[in-house]
Amino acid sequence: MASSSVTNAPSQAHVQFKDVQKSYDGKSLVVKNLNLDIQKGEFVTMLGPSGSGKTTTLMMLAGFETATHGEIFLKGTPINNTPPNKRGIGMVFQNYALFPHMTVNENLAFPLQVRGMDKATIEAKVVRALGMVSLSQFGARKPAQLSGGQQQRVAVARALVFEPDIVLMDEPLGALDKQLREQMQYEIKTLTKSLGVTVVYVTHDQAEALTMSDRIAVFNDGIIQQLSTPAELYEAPVNSFVAQFIGENNRLPGKVTKASNGVCHVALSDGSNVQALPINLAAGAAMTTLSIRPERVEVDPTSPEISNRVTGVVNDIIYLGDHLRARLTAGGSDNFVVKAPNRDGQRRLEKGQSVTLGWRTKDCRALDPL
């Protein structure tokens, strides 16, 4: 059993989960042996499919759920037994959770009033918070008189108005349309960075996570599969789940025929032989799943760096302006995707056409079999 001693928490970790588990029925674990350190000022996103444990983890940090096992630390202090209102944490929900009978000013004043601040201090903090989210002229309005984007700004301002060290956001942009959602992503990221606030953010939207985060924890089945920067997650997934979940990805099943000097040789089901970087493959593994990003595949490659070549047949093509998205039969897959730049001199792909596809060994990762 994890000790609640403060010395168990490293001083540099602003938030720490130590051997945390959560079960609702006493049998199955929703969160399994979670160990996670979050530094002050970091924007960390918990990303994963429904039921993966990400929201439960956030709720345990907020104090709305209790850990079945393990300890959660905030600024070096164990908080498992600290009630939510004593944790000093700001919270933003998907449904905004604004008080409909209160004005915007009154909504922002409420968390300050419950903390016993005087009227002058409250007024000054409300004015500052509304200014931060560009809503200074909307203080007298009720939430129903605001657009969805404006209501979300108010929710963010309310979470920040009492100047918390950490803000938790649970799918806060899920109810917004695509354009407004993307605008709010940049606004939240810029605002929290300028204030130096630590943010723990939950989403199932991979593009949102890549856009906003310093680091991303990819959850599946109650376990963090990988905790990395957005670039590391995309470029270097450590297993097939992460490769499949983050960005578009070609997956080719194959048999490992040889492995040496950090490279493995793989035979594909169509008879092609390619080379890849082995990633977390068990010693002597016979089967693997290759992972290749569509934009790393070249059509009719000429570069000497292209060490892998297979033949493909074009099944269909989608014109997307700056690039063409082609789906081919190649490498034993009927759904091999290539993103080809749309530029002068580029070969025009046509349905039914036979082409040579190529990619570098370093862009091809041999992962655990799916």
Residue 345 has a pLDDT of: 60
Q: Which of 254, 230, 229 is nearest to 240 (CA)?
A: 254
As a residue count, the chain comes to: 370
**∠ CA(330), CA(333), CA(334), 5° rounding?**
90
| Tens of pLDDT, residues 299-348 | 988 888 899 999 999 999 998 888 889 999 999 999 999 998 887 666 67
Domains of the chain: 6-235 (3.40.50.300), 250-367 (2.40.50.140)
Q: Which of 75, 73, 55, 77 is nearest to 64 (CA)?
A: 55
Tokens in use for 273? Answer: 């032989």
354-359 vs 43-47, strand pairing mode: unpaired
Other CB atoms within 10 Å distance of the CB of residue 74 = 21
Share of the chain above pLDDT 90, in %: 73
CA distances (Å), origin 6, targets 3, 57, 75, 78, 344: 9, 21, 10, 7, 63
CA distances (Å), origin 172, targets 194, 223, 257, 280, 295: 19, 23, 48, 35, 31
CA distances (Å), origin 264, targets 219, 253, 285, 291: 28, 14, 11, 13
Q: Cα separation of 287 and 268, whole Å? A: 10
Q: Cα separation of 129 and 73, whole Å? A: 28
pTM: 0.87
| The residue to which tokens 């199932």 are assigned | 204
| Tens of pLDDT, residues 56-115 | 999 999 999 999 999 999 999 999 999 998 999 999 988 878 899 999 999 999 999 988
Q: Cα separation of 262 and 338, whole Å? A: 26
Q: Cα separation of 170 and 164, whole Å? A: 17
Residue 136 has a pLDDT of: 93
Q: Cα separation of 250 and 335, whole Å? A: 8
Residue 47 has a pLDDT of: 96
Q: What is the DSSP letter of 294?
A: G
Q: Please list the residues that pair with 200 across neighbouring strands.
A: 44, 168
Tokens in use for 293? Answer: 């990003």
| Tens of pLDDT, residues 200-211 | 999 999 999 999
pLDDT band at 174 (very low <50, low <70, confident <90, very high): confident
| Tens of pLDDT, residues 249-268 | 999 999 999 888 889 999 99
| Long-range CB contact pairs, 3-9, < 8 A, 24+ | 3/71, 4/71, 4/78, 4/80, 5/78, 6/73, 6/76, 6/77, 6/78, 8/71, 8/73, 9/73, 9/76, 9/77, 9/78
Q: Which of 55, 108, 66, 77 is nearest to 4 (CA)?
A: 77
Q: Cα separation of 260 and 152, whole Å? A: 54
On the 0-12 / 13-18 / 19+ scale of CB atoms within 10 A, 19 is: middle
Residue 285 has a pLDDT of: 72
| Tens of pLDDT, residues 8-47 | 444 578 999 999 999 999 889 999 999 999 999 999 999 9
| Tens of pLDDT, residues 204-243 | 999 999 999 999 999 999 999 999 999 999 999 999 999 9
Q: Which of 120, 125, 154 is nearest to 139 (CA)?
A: 154
How many CA atoms does the CB half-sphere of 255 hold within 13 Å?
A: 6
